[in-house]
Amino acid sequence: MQEKATYRAISYKTIAPYLQAGENRNSKFISYAGLGLGVLLLLCCLQMFVNINHLLKEKSIRKDGFDFISVTKSITNENMGSDNRFTEADVAELKSQSFITDVSPLISNQFRAKASAGSVIPFSTDLFLESVKDDFLDTLPASFSWKEGQLEVPIIFSADFLEMYNVFAPAQGLPQISASSISSVNIVLECYSLFGVQKFQGRIVAVSDRINSILVPESFLTWANKNYGNVTKVPAARVYLKTIDANNPELLKFIEEKNYHVNKDRTKFGRVKQILQAVVSGLAGFAILVILLAMLLFSFYLRLMIEKSKTNLQLLVTLGFSPGWLTKTVTRTRIPVYIAIILFALAITAILQFLFQYYVFNNRPELSPFLHWGVVVVGILLLALCVFVTNKLVRGLLYKL
């Protein structure tokens, strides 16, 4: 027993000549080089994938970390004579999608509505009114509510509509209005029915950057549609989607399959993201293939080395060196090489990331100059995988002696 323990205490250098007799250095170095190239390419792809997600976020108005986008059904020459509004089944289908957090139909007025601004702004027009869930509003003042019998109707005005008015107003001799002063404009809201017209006092309580519409409380529009339009259920011509990411490729694919229409400017980055993610995923797949081929070549190298050193290894086993000890010893000598390969790949990836952030994107704040922690974790996992595969392969070969 003491003699066997003495043999086990002998270092790898003592038994190395017995193994190196069957060593093929070209196969070893090629497999190491291939492994390093594959790991480097894979880590770079992962870091680039993270960069794409950080850089191509939609610059839309977000509330509590969510994106909100308007969706309508596409109108074509074939269906323009049909009812292209969303049914309850359509809304239910949208709500059932995992990448959509919530859905709110925009209910419109089913009666004629007219607005005028009195003598200060001699301007009147027929208009459309809409309502949406309060959760979908980017600005919601406490005064945006209405109860039956109330003659004052709060209104949320679109910032885009206000900009259009200010462009149009000077040519018509009308005064331009700022967003902060628009609440002081007195609006007469006229609602028409078969039995006459009723006037309400409209007051703009907020300006919305998100929804291009003239919004009134849902309670008012439901009541008005019933009393003036004799309608209780109103299919929506458009709906608003609440989602974690408006550029989610799954969301864009679903919208395209359903032939729905969205503002292309609000989702253009998602389409770019789809293309870039496909390219990066393809490169990552190629990197994995290179790693697998390198590991396969390395396995051939080990098989050949052990096969050519079979007689020497059998002698070592006879002398008291167990296959388990030989396995651990051979595997341990490969660990520094694997660590060097992984560290080299991480260092090159970190340098490329720094250069990418500093020279290509000029220190943009949304892009970190450092490696993402997930890339480092993947490097550690690859190191563990290489050690595990080597140990498993060497153990299987030595125990067959």
Q: Give per-residue pLDDT as tens, 316-359.
A: 777 677 777 777 777 787 888 889 999 999 999 999 988 888 87
Strands 152-158 and 196-208, sheet pairing: parallel
As a whole number of angstroms, the distance between CA 101 and CA 1 comes to 68
Can you give the pTM of this predicted structure?
0.56
Bridge partners of 71? 239, 262
pLDDT over 90 (residue 103): yes
Question: Over pLDDT 70: what percentage of the chain?
Answer: 83
Average pLDDT for 98-122: 86
The first and second tokens of residue 142, run together, are 């406490």
Q: What pLDDT sits at residue 397?
A: 73
Distances in Å between the Cα of 257 and the Cα atoms of 58, 134, 229, 253, 267 are 21, 29, 35, 6, 15
Mean residue pLDDT across the chain: 81
Question: Over pLDDT 90: what percentage of the chain?
Answer: 24
pLDDT over 50 (residue 361): yes
pLDDT over 50 (residue 107): yes
As a whole number of angstroms, the distance between CA 224 and CA 270 comes to 39
Q: What pLDDT sits at residue 390?
A: 85
Residues 90, 96, 100, 101: what is their CA dihedral angle, to the nearest 10 degrees? 120
Give the lowest-confidence range in 24-33, 267-276, 331-340, 355-364: 267-276
Q: How confident is the model at residue 113 (pLDDT cuts 50, 70, 90)?
A: very high
Task: For 219-230, write each residue's pLDDT tens digit.
Answer: 999 999 999 989
Task: For 167-187, write each residue's pLDDT tens digit.
Answer: 888 888 888 888 888 888 888
CB-side neighbour CA atoms (13 Å) of 237: 12
Q: How confident is the model at residue 394 (pLDDT cuts 50, 70, 90)?
A: confident
Q: How confident is the model at residue 59 (pLDDT cuts 50, 70, 90)?
A: very low
Q: How confident is the model at residue 9 (pLDDT cuts 50, 70, 90)?
A: very low
Q: How confident is the model at residue 7 (pLDDT cuts 50, 70, 90)?
A: very low
As a whole number of angstroms, the distance between CA 224 and CA 285 comes to 59
Burial of 65 (0-12, 13-18, 19+ CB in 10 A): exposed
Q: What pLDDT sits at residue 272?
A: 65
Q: Which residue has the higher pLDDT, 315 or 386?
A: 386
Give Cα 399 to chain centroid, integer Å: 49
Q: How confident is the model at residue 286 (pLDDT cuts 50, 70, 90)?
A: confident
Q: Which residue has the higher pLDDT, 226 or 401?
A: 226
Q: How confident is the model at residue 3 (pLDDT cuts 50, 70, 90)?
A: very low
Q: How confident is the model at residue 2 (pLDDT cuts 50, 70, 90)?
A: very low
Q: How confident is the model at residue 137 (pLDDT cuts 50, 70, 90)?
A: confident
Q: What pLDDT sits at residue 122?
A: 74
Give the lowest-confidence range in 62-76, 82-96, 217-231, 349-363: 62-76
Q: What pLDDT sits at residue 8?
A: 45
Average pLDDT for 200-218: 90
Average pLDDT for 276-292: 82
Q: Which residue has the higher pLDDT, 382 or 329?
A: 382
Q: What pLDDT sits at residue 57?
A: 57
Q: Which helix (H) or strand (E) holds 332?
A: helix 323-355
pLDDT over 50 (residue 117): yes
Q: What pLDDT sits at residue 252?
A: 82
Distances in Å between the Cα of 355 and the Cα atoms of 37, 279, 348, 351, 352 are 20, 21, 11, 6, 5
Q: Which residue has the higher pLDDT, 8 or 263?
A: 263
Q: What pLDDT sits at residue 5?
A: 45
Burial of 75 (0-12, 13-18, 19+ CB in 10 A): exposed
